[in-house]
């Protein structure tokens, strides 16, 4: 089973990239973030043409998540319980071949101490409550997406221990660890803890050319899936595409 995550930074701008990538790599499930379109505008026909199903939960110009899959999703959930139409659309979940997949686009936070930073930490608390109140860590589950957190020392090209900059501040790292404490394992770090396995590079300052990146796109798995971990692959070549997203696909492969 092949599960991928990719922040595409606009499905309208990069829909063709996504469709081409699906044709080339044939994932069973692809989780997308920052689709940036309302549900009425989502370009689902291209996925149908490839014999893929799609579930989406979006808003115009901002945020938005979707799950593309070979088989229809079961037990689809969109957003936190009690969410209103005015809330950000950042979470979608479904079950595929017995594996629950939760796809999130976690808030960026902008700068440490800002209102957006505190919103990010509150959203992470709400995400942990979502886990506490819903799925069981003893069942197969993958929490994936763009977390906007670089949790390990080698996940940020210039951060050092104790830095209080965005993506690596102590409150963000602690909130991320609370996901792990619930019963999740960082799949890539479990298989290969090497540093500098980046998934995002800023468009500015030649960050891509200098490999000044961050690992902020993650695939976290519950204990029943750890023995099934076969590989996690970062598709860096997607960053070389014309008008590429600043993120690249990350692919988790499970044994059957």
pLDDT at 20 over 80: yes
* CATH architecture group of domain 2-254: 4-Layer Sandwich (3.60)
- Per-residue pLDDT band for 11 (boundaries 50, 70, 90) equals very high
**What is the average pLDDT value for the chain, to the nearest integer?**
96
Which region among 45-59, 124-138, 156-170 has the lowest average model confidence (pLDDT)? Answer: 156-170
CA distance 87 to 208: 33
- Per-residue pLDDT band for 161 (boundaries 50, 70, 90) equals low
CB proximity list for 161: less than 8 A, separation 6 or greater: 153
**Percent of the chain whose pLDDT exceeds 70:** 100
Q: How far is CA 149 from CA 62, 91, 158, 236, in A?
A: 19, 16, 14, 19
pLDDT at 84: 82
pLDDT digits (tens, 9 = 90+) for 33-64: 999 999 999 999 999 999 999 999 999 999 99
pLDDT at 82 over 90: no
Q: Dump the DSSP string for 213-247.
A: EE--EEEEEEGGGGGGEEEEEE-GGGGGSTT--SB
pLDDT at 8 over 80: yes
Domain ranges of the chain: 2-254
Q: How is residue 227 annotated by DSSP?
A: G
């Amino acid at each position: 089973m092949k599960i991928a995550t990719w922040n595409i930074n606009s499905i309208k701008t990069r829909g063709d990239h996504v469709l081409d990538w699906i044709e080339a790599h044939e994932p069973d499930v692809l989780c997308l973030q920052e689709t940036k379109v309302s549900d009425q505008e989502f370009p689902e026909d291209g996925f149908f043409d490839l014999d893929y199903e799609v579930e989406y939960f979006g808003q115009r110009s901002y945020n938005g998540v979707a799950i593309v899959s070979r088989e229809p999703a079961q037990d689809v959930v969109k957003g936190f319980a009690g969410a209103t139409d005015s809330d950000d659309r950042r979470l979608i979940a479904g079950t595929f071949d017995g594996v629950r997949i939760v796809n999130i686009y976690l808030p960026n936070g902008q700068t440490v101490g800002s209102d957006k930073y505190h919103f990010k930490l509150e959203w992470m608390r709400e995400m942990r409550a979502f886990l506490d109140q819903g799925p069981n860590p003893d069942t197969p589950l993958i929490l994936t997406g763009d977390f906007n957190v670089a949790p390990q020392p080698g996940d940020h090209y210039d951060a050092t221990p104790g830095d209080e900059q965005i993506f690596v501040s102590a409150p963000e790292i602690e909130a991320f660890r609370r996901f792990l404490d619930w019963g999740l394992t960082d799949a890539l770090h479990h298989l290969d803890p090497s540093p500098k396995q980046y998934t995002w590079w800023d468009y500015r300052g030649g960050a891509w050319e200098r490999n000044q990146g961050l690992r902020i796109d993650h695939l976290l798995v519950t204990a029943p899936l750890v023995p099934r971990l076969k590989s996690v692959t970062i598709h860096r070549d997607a960053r070389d595409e014309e008008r590429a997203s600043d993120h690249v696909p990350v692919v988790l492969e499970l044994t059957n």
